[in-house]
A = this chain, B = another copy of it.
Amino acid sequence: MARTVEAVLDHAAAACARRGAQLTPLRREVLRLVLEAEGPVGAYALLDRLKETRAGAAPPTVYRALDFLLEQGLIHKVERLNAFVGCAEAPHGHAGAGDGHGHPHQFLICRRCGATTEISDAAVTQALAAAAGRAGFVLHGATVEAEGLCARCAQG
């Protein structure tokens, strides 16, 4: 797993460089903390972990890094949780569209165990685009977060 995270970090650094951006050591460290977390992680939880290696870290430190990672499409924000997760697709070649918006995605959030699964369902994306179009709305992005019970918790 540690190997995997390092590989993703290297891949992310390359993707940033390709777009003229730079995954600095600080940003890389924050991204690592997000990826190592088991699920969505709050900015202040990240800050606490970051302080272990960077004593002077403060809220703007982590928020600036998170803003960068969001722009690069390397992480997503879960609005319902005010928390952040690594993009599930970044390691598989997508790594952000370079347009500053990431890619269309949806979250399935378990109300019991908190598991948050990223999916990228074309039908959902299309349906939303169609609905927006009918309203004359020019779509730039969307937050889609489902709440319910994950497969594991639904069994009990």
- B-contacting residues of A (Cβ < 8 Å)? 79-80, 106, 108, 110-111, 117, 119, 121, 123-124, 126-128, 130-132, 135-151, 154
With A79-B79, A79-B80, A124-B124 as known contacts, state yes or no: A140 contacts B131, CB within 8 Å: no
Q: How many monomers of this protein are in the complex?
A: 2
Question: How far, in angstroms, from A144 to B79 measured CA to CA in the complex?
Answer: 11
In the complex, given contacts A123-B131, A124-B131, A138-B154, what are 5 additional A-B residue pairs having Cβ atoms less than 8 angstroms apart?
A79-B143, A124-B127, A137-B149, A139-B146, A143-B147
Nearest B residue to A152, CB-CB: B136
Question: How far, in angstroms, from A154 to B145 measured CA to CA in the complex?
Answer: 26
5 closest Cβ contacts across the A-B interface?
Answer: A136-B151, A121-B131, A79-B79, A123-B127, A140-B148
